[in-house]
Amino acid sequence: MSAAYPGAAGALASVPGVRFLGAGKIRELFEVDGKLLLVASDRISAFDYVLETPIPDKGKILTQLSLWWFEQLADLVPNHLVSTDPAMFPVELLDHKDLLQGRSMLSERLSMIEIECVARGYLTGSGLAEYQAQGTACGVPLPPGLVDGSRLAEPIFTPAAKAAVGEHDENIDFAETAKRVGDDLAEEIRDLTLKIYGRAHEIAAERGIILADTKFEFGQRADGTVVLADEVLTPDSSRFWPADLWEPGHAQPSYDKQYVRDWLTSPDSGWDRNSGEAPPPLPAEVVERTRARYVEAYELLTGRRFQ
């Protein structure tokens, strides 16, 4: 297991010609030579906190998985990727090849569409909470009798308005999406979201995995072309469940940070999530099990061994 990698901002901040644009919970964004450089750290978030303890290789696993999915979806939608080979990056970055290898994407600059495009094929998470209260998910009426983990008759588009780091995205309905971005673009991103979800669900099912839900980000080129951006179909943006363990009626086992969430909410952590205090550092066993879960998801989906 390689050493954890907390982030790139410190190493690249002083490189001439490289401009630090900002950081999300996991990724850092730079501008160089008119393009965007996305670098995935090994940080992990839970309950709206970025945790003190990173998960070794997590950024590489998620980046490599996104690249594999871009290949599977290339005939459905263009993506923002220019190169993942640091040797082909702008000359300003050549001294940092080792730092960037495996966890970075040089990408097109796009005009980002400020909507989180969520597809749900199963009822869980915030969709379940709304359903239990109102019988809907993001305003989409659902039939009675559904429980946590129920498969929906058809996948649904449940968009969200993007929130600042540390805050929850706000679920909105399709009418509000159209109001924000226009009718034509709202319809296009809805249709793309459901089309991509359908393809990905089929591919995952062939590998014994259920893709319960996922979210995408899209941008537009100057000519208006809608382009798939950011990461795609990783355990950080999707719920992947082992198909052989699927049992509606309760929370499902998943290929993500389940070990982290479970430990943080257990008596062992000593943390009260309502206290307003940041979570404690993760113990080594939780780090190792979480990393193993991410590796397992990558290898099952891609059929490749993670190096």
Cβ burial of 156 (10 Å; 0-12, 13-18, 19+) is buried
pLDDT > 70: percent of the chain = 95
pLDDT in tens, 132-170: 999 998 889 999 999 999 999 999 999 999 765 555 678
DSSP secondary structure letter of residue 280: P
Per-domain boundaries in the chain? 9-109, 111-245
| CATH code that applies to domain 9-109 | 3.30.200.20
What number of CA atoms fall less than 13 Å from residue 129's CA on the CB side? 3
Number of Cβ atoms within 10 Å of the Cβ of 160: 18
pLDDT in tens, 202-258: 999 999 999 999 999 999 999 999 999 999 999 989 999 999 999 999 999 998 888
Which CATH architecture does the domain made up of 111-245 adopt? 2-Layer Sandwich (3.30)
Quick check: 38 and 105 in contact, CB under 8 A?
Answer: yes
